[in-house]
Amino acid sequence: MGDNLESLGSETASGMESCMKEELCMEIDPPFRENVATAEDWRKALNKVVPAVVVLRTTGCRAFDTEAAGASYATGFVVDKRRGVILTNRHVVKPGPVVAEAMFVNREEIPVHPIYRDPVHDFGFFRYDPDAIQFLSYEEIPLAPEAACVGLEIRVVGNDSGEKVSILAGTLARLDRDAPQYKNIKPKKPVHKQPRKRRRRRKNKRTKEERDGYNDFNTFYMQAASGTKGGSSGSPVIDWQGRAVALNAGSKSSSASAFFLPLERVVRALKFLQKGWDSFGNKWEAVNIPRGTLQVTFLHKGFDETRRLGLQSETEQMVRHASPIAETGMLVVDSVVPGGPAHKHLEPGDVLVRVNGEVLTQFLKLETLLDDSVDKRINLQIERGGTSLTVELVVQDLHSITPNYFLEVSGAVIHPLSYQQARNFRFNCGLVYVAEPGYMLYRAGVPRHAIIKKFAGEEISALDELILVLSKLSRGARVPLEYISYTDRHRSKSVLVTVDRHEWYAAPQIYTRDDSSGLWTARPALAPGSLFLSSSINCDILTSGTVASTIAEAGVVEQIPQKHSKECADGFNGVETSCEHVNEVPHSGEDSNVETKKRRVEENSSENGATTSDCLMQEANEEKLEDPRTLENIGLRPYQVAVASNASVAERVIEPTLVMFEVHVPSSCMVDGVHSQHFFGTGVIVYHSQHMGLAAVDRNTVAISVSDVMLSFAAFPVEIPGEVIFLHPIHNYALVAYDPSALGAAGASAVRAAELLPEPALRRGDSVYLVGLSRSLQATSRKSIVTNPCAALNIGSADCPRYKATNMEVIELDTDFGSTFSGVLTDERGRIQAIWGSFSTQLKYGSSTSEDHQFVRGLPIYAISQVLDKIINGTKGPVLLINGVKRPMPLVRILEAELYPTLLSKARSFGLSDEWVQDLVRKDPIRRQVLRVKGCLAGSKAEQVLEQGDMLLAINKEPITCFRDIEYACEELDKYGDNGGILNMTIFRQGKEIELVVGTDIRDGNGTTRMVNWCGCIIQDPHSAVRALGFLPEEGHGVYVARWCHGSPVQRYGLYALQWIVDVNGKPTPDLEAFVDVVKGLEHGEFVRVKTVHLNGKPRVLTLKQDLHYWPTWELRFDPDTAMWRRQTIKALDCSLA
Whose CA is closest to 555, among 425, 723, 676, 412? 676
Q: Is the pLDDT of residue 929 over 70?
A: yes
**At what angle are helices 363-371 and 264-279 packed, to 10 degrees?**
30
C-beta separation of 1106 from 1083 below 8 A: yes
1022 pLDDT above the threshold of 60 = yes
- SS (HEC) of 1017-1043: EEEECCCHHHHCCCCCCCCCCCEEEEE
pLDDT of 1126: 95
Q: What's the pLDDT tens digit per position in 735-786?
A: 999 999 999 999 999 999 999 999 999 999 999 999 999 888 999 999 999 9
Residue 733: its pLDDT value, please? 97
At 1048-1088, the pLDDT tens digits run 999 999 999 999 999 999 999 999 999 999 999 999 999 99
Report, as an integer, the average pLDDT of 642-666. 85
Is the per-residue pLDDT at 555 higher than 70?
no
Tens of pLDDT along 38-54?
999 999 999 999 999 99
Q: What's the Cα-to-Cα distance from 783 to each of 649, 900, 1028, 1070, 1107, rounded to whole Å?
A: 11, 31, 38, 53, 60
Structure-model confidence comparison of residues 614 and 878, the more confident one: 878
pLDDT of residue 632: 36
Give the whole-angstrom CA distance, residue 1050 versus residue 1071: 20
**DSSP letter string, 979-1022:** SSSEEEEEEEETTEEEEEEEE-EEE-S----EEEEETTEEEEPP
Residue 389 contacts residue 382 (beta carbons within 8 Å): yes
Least confident of 190-204, 358-372, 794-808: 190-204
Could you tell me which residues are beta bridge partners of residue 153?
A: 171
Closest CA to 437 of 410, 417, 419: 410
| 138-147, 166-175, 374-383, 1053-1062, range with the lowest pLDDT | 166-175
Nearest to 470, CA basis, from 450, 449, 456: 456
| Mean pLDDT across the chain | 84
Q: Which of 68-82, 506-520, 565-579 has the lowest mean pLDDT?
A: 565-579
The mean pLDDT value for 235-254 works out to 89
Contacts of 327 (CB under 8 A, 6+ apart): 319, 320, 361, 362
Highest mean pLDDT among 184-198, 554-568, 576-590, 646-660: 646-660
Residue 165 above 90 pLDDT? no
Confidence check: pLDDT of 151 > 80:
yes
* 306, 112 contact by CB (below 8 A): no
Helix (H, G, I), strand (E, B) or coil at 304: helix
Question: From CA 562, how far away is CA 591, in angstroms rounded?
Answer: 12
CA gap 474, 460 in Å, rounded = 19
| DSSP state, residue 673 | T
276-326 residue pLDDT tens: 988 887 788 889 999 999 999 999 999 999 999 999 999 999 999 999 988
Higher per-residue pLDDT: 807 or 593: 807
Residue 43: which residues within 8 A CB-CB, separation 6 or more?
none
* Mean pLDDT, range 827-855, rounded to an integer: 87
What value does the mean pLDDT take over residues 122-128?
Answer: 96
How far from the centroid of its chain's Cα atoms is residue 386's Cα?
A: 53
User: Would the pLDDT of 95 be above 80?
Assistant: yes
Q: What is the pLDDT of residues 1083-1109, one digit of tens each?
A: 999 999 999 999 988 999 999 999 999
What pLDDT does 183 receive? 61
User: DSSP secondary structure string, 174-222?
Assistant: EEEEEPPPBPP--PPPPGGGS-GGG-SPPPS---GGGTTS----SSEEE
More confident residue, 694 or 600: 694
Averaged over 580-599, what is the pLDDT? 34
% of the chain with per-residue pLDDT over 70: 82
Residue 370 has pLDDT above 90, yes or no: yes
d(CA 44, CA 94): 34
Phi and psi angles of residue 21, each rounded to the nearest 5 degrees, phi first: -60, -45
Spatial separation of the C-alpha atoms in residues 178 and 259, rounded to whole Å: 10
CB atoms within 10 A of CB 43: 11
pLDDT band, very low/low/confident/very high, at 13 (cuts 50, 70, 90)? very low
Question: What's 535's DSSP letter?
Answer: S
In this structure, is the dihedral angle defined by the CA atoms of residues 1017, 1022, 1024 and 1028, taken in order, positive or negative?
Answer: positive
Return the pLDDT at 257.
81
The mean pLDDT of 913-938, rounded to a whole number, is 94
Query: Count of residues for the chain?
Result: 1138
Of 736, 740, 676, 748, residue with least CA distance to 709? 736
CB 266 within 8 A of CB 249: no
Tell me the C-alpha to C-alpha distance, in Å, between residue 1132 and each of 478, 1019, 1065, 1083.
31, 17, 19, 9
- Cis preceding-peptide flag for 717 (omega within 30 of 0): no
pLDDT band at 645 (very low <50, low <70, confident <90, very high): low
CA-CA distance, 1115 to 12, in Å (whole number)? Answer: 49
For the segment 397-416, the average pLDDT, to the nearest whole number, is 97
Look at residue 19 in the predicted model and tell me its pLDDT.
40
Neighbouring residues of 143: CB distance < 8 A, sequence distance ≥ 6: 79, 87, 243, 244, 263, 266, 267, 270
Pairing verdict, β 220-224 and 257-261? antiparallel
CA 167 to CA 50: how far, in whole Å?
A: 9
- Place 571 in a pLDDT band, splitting at 50, 70 and 90: very low
- Quick check: helix, strand or coil at residue 909? helix
pLDDT surpasses 90 at 819 = no
Return the pLDDT at 642. 41
Q: Which of 160, 157, 168 is nearest to 46 (CA)?
A: 157
Q: What's the per-residue H, E or C state across 870-890? A: HHHHCCCCCEEEECCEEEECC
Q: In the chain, how many H helices and how many E strands?
A: 23, 60
How much is the pLDDT for 846?
Answer: 65
Tell me the sheet residues that pair with 388: 383
